[in-house]
Each structure stands twice: as C-alpha cells, then as structure tokens.
Structure 1
C-alpha cells in the first residue's frame, strides 16, 4: 500500500516550515519570506504555499504561489515579480504531489524556474520564454577574484576610479529611495516602461534590514548619483536584484565600479556567491556586461499551463500597454510616472 505524504497549505510569509525550506539547500531569495512579504504588502496579494512533510513532520518539498483575480483574469502566479521561484521539488513525485489539484483544465498557472527543475518536464506546462542567470563564485582572495574577471572589466574599473567615480554602500532607507529616482528615469526613457513604485523598495528595505540583509551601492561623481544597484542577502548569496544608471555618465563606467564593489563586499562579508539576476535573451548588451564578471551561467525558463485568457482579458492587457506608453512619454513629469506605477504595476504579473 502506498503511503501519501501529508501536505499542509500555509502562509509562506509566517510559516516556520516554509522558512526552513527557503533557508535550505533548495531555497532562494525569491521564495524567502521577506521577499514574498514585501511583494504582497506592496500589491495587496495574499500568498499561499503547499509544504510536503516527511513522516517525522520535517518539510521535504514546497511550492508557493499567489492567486490573482483582476481585469486580466483569474490566474495563479509563482511568484509575482520574481526572476525565478523554483519549487522545492527534488523529484517528479514531489512536484506532482505539490500541484495535485492546482493544474486543472482552464487554470492559468505561470512560474519561472531553472532549466533543471522538475516542472520543466511536466507535459501540462509549456515553455513561453527563456532568460539567462549569471553568478560569480566568491571562493578566493579579493586579488584573485580581480584577476579572474574579464580584462575589459578591469580596465573599466580603473577608468571609473581615475574619473572620480566613488561607490557608497548605503545601509539605511535613503539608499533605496535614491535608487528609486534613478530607476524611474531609466525605465521610462530607455524602455518606455513603468518602474516598480517607491513603496515596493521601501517594503523591501523594511523586511530585509531587520536582518541587516540589504545594501544599496550608489556610484557618485561629485554630488551626482549616476548609478545604483540594490543588493539583497539570502542564504549566503548577495543578490544584485535591481540596477539603474544615468545614460549620460555611462562612458565613465560607473556600473563596472559597482559590480566590482559588490564582489568585494560579498567577499568581505563571508558570502559564497554573487547572483546578478536574470537577463532577457533580447538584451545582448546586458548579457555581455554580466559575462565579464560571471563564473556561472544557466537558463531560466518561463512556464505556463494550458489555460488561456479570454478575449476581454487580452483586450485589458492591450489597454494596459497603451496606458503605459502614454505615461512614459517624455512630456509626463517623472513624479506622475512614479505615482502611476503604484496604481498599475500590480497588473503586470
């Protein structure tokens, strides 16, 4: 007789067993309680998670998601605004137990995970996109790490220093607030996209600063802030999650200076890895930039179940795109664009 392991449905923001999974070998920043809490507090989501338990009550598998119901329809997202969110499912049997009853005809389930994860082989899901994740091992003295990075990167770091670029590691909330101003301008002018609202970054800072796990690296030239990266710490990994810069200063190589500062900070604080996040395949310039520093590269896939949006939901998505295009026009003040993010960004997942 086959024994079915018990599964509990829990709140991943507060459940100790989910925290144990997220802090374990298969956990990650994007399945961590502070990350999920920051996202849900900003956008009014209520997350759920399933935890598979061994006979002694130890958690051995898990899947977190957010149920969403809005003008774009009913759907399950694992997890919103995350580069990836691998389920803790070391084998197909665990994965199938976790999604039993979730993947049904008509259900729209989306998730992002690494290529090696069990969901990729699930015939009920199809690949809808791929991205590249880059990482840098912190496994040597700083001088050796410097020699390991690409020669172009070393020259750019030296140029930034000669040109007077200074990197400040800001631990208080003012760092993410200054970064938000950079991000609004970059996403608006370069991509015609809204950035995540200031409340999101403030929520991130509040959740991660409780464990001293957030630092904003800001590149400055004189009194000007010209580039920035928000780094988050989880499981001994320094995640460079958000980056923005002012295009008119890129010739001074401030981003190279920040990447190198991030590597040095990780080494000084006992991290074993720097994670530079996921890049779209249609961003070859960004991929080339990260490869200068990376020692590892892997694929991240977007997956979706067979459920399809209705015609009305497709139309809502189109209208949302049109409104975004209007609100990111150069004639719209950045303050208005930023305020629009607080209203509209939750619909982009």
Structure 2
C-alpha cells in the first residue's frame, strides 16, 4: 500500500496529531458562495477507522458527496480540518493536482475511462513501463479480483454500466491505495449483479486491509456491506455508528425513516395505539402485525406487491401506518383489521 501519508511536503507548518482515527474530521464546513449561499457541510465531526467500510448515507442534497470531496482534498473547508493519519489533508491551495496521495476516488461517472480503449489498457495504463513483467502481472491480478479478466480485450464502450464501474474500480486499486473513496458506486449496476460487486469489495477489504468510504442514498446497500454509517441531513451529521445499532436504536427520527422506512409518530398518535410515549416514537414496518376483524377500528387503505412481501398502508381517518406482510398474501382494500405492535423505539426528548 502507498506510504505517502504525510502532508509535510505540502503544508510545511503542519504537525502530526497522535491518537486520532485514520481519517478524522473536526468542525468541518464547506460553503458554496453564489447567487445563493449554500452550506453544504455544516461543522461536522467524524472518525473513520482503518480497514473498515464506512458508508455516508443521506437523501439527495444532504452533503454526503461534498463530505467525500473534503476527505479527498478536492474541496476546500470553510472551517475545520480533515486529518489522515494525524496529518492535514492537503487541498487545492496546497497541491497543483488535488487529491490525497494515499487515496483514490471513483466518481459516479466514467470521465477518466478511455471508452475506445480495451479494458486491459485502461487498467494497465495506470502503471509505468519500468517493469513490464510486474505491470502485466499486477493488471491480471486486479482484473481477476474484480472478475473482469474475461473482458480484458473488450472495448470499454461495449461494456454495461456495471462492467464500466468495475473497470473504474480496477484502475483505482492497481496502485494499491490505502483508502478507496466511492461516490454512489452501485448506481449504474444492475440489481442482479450488485450483490456480487459488493461481495468483491468486501473480500478485497478483508484480504488487503483496504479502507473504503462510500456515499449512498440506498439503505439496502449500506446495511448489507458497511461496518460503520454516517447519516447526513441538510449538511449535518445526525447519526453515526454501527449499522445494526442505528437500524434498531436510531438517535434521530430521520435515521429511522431513512434506514427502516419507520413509522414516526407523536405521543398523541402513539396513544391511539395504546402506546404510552412522552415524545416521538418509531415503529418499524416489520414490527406491525394485524388480524382481520369485521369490527376492527382500522382498515387496509392500499397494498403494493413487492415480490416476497406485500407493503401495506393501513390505519383509519386519524392514523396512517406502513407495514410489511411476509410472506406476501392477497388482501382486499378496505378489509377491516386490528393492529398489533410488537416493538417500539422511543426517541429521547
């Protein structure tokens, strides 16, 4: 792995700070000035551990891609700092060619790919010609890891979106970076092949100790592969921690809605379900059961077939809830039901 991890060659006044996570952000902000002033990232603090997959998740416009650019050094902080191994990450004002030497960024597009060159040439071109045997062996090795060796002689222009994404990742990995940054890496990957690519990245992390930071808006992606989540909303980090912990015990209602599509209710709404609450609560869709009852207080307002399960919208004139029915069964609209809730998460006031 690359060892160019000090910023001293770019920021001569910098002093290494010990006992920090691999990547550490402190009071970090990014502001875009224009016809309208936009605070893309607003005084956030975070730590990213080495050898783990960290996912930054949020809705569009939440600031997650800007945070990724700040980590890499492509964006200039308005306040605060980003440190890598205790050293400041140099930015555009410090380096002629921005981007940290120990990191590689794979963006949403494929701007850096030569579409009319072969897959092999796109990847091999990242290595010098000083050692041709190493260049050939290393290219073969990286293509094999990402299951692209059988397409080595195809033009990139003739590949699918998912295959192009794999080529872009191969190009990023061939020089053994310490950190791989990925912005919406699975956007153009067909659902059928998404799991394979996620598993390949997880295996590379396990085999090499690579640190991965990825941006996503899809909870299914990050819950399946991330070791740590950073949840963003309107430029702020509203939650961060272990994915399982955040799924079942979120600190913020936004996290519950984003990760679990939870029903977030006020204390007054909760009381209608005979739930005693002092503030907001979250009820996951899978925590709602129901039974048909001719005199039930609630009814099925709508249903959507989702394959293995059915998504139901249930309630009455005062309350609407979303629930899942597994295994999927046909149920008629307006069927009267009683609602049973198996678990509730209470948010702190």
TM-score bracket, shorter-length normalisation:
under 0.3
- Higher RCO (C-alpha under 8 Å, 6+ residues apart): 1
Question: TM-score, structure 1 length as denominator?
Answer: 0.27
The structure with the greater share of residues assigned to helix is 1
Larger radius of gyration: 2
Question: TM-score, structure 2 length as denominator?
Answer: 0.27
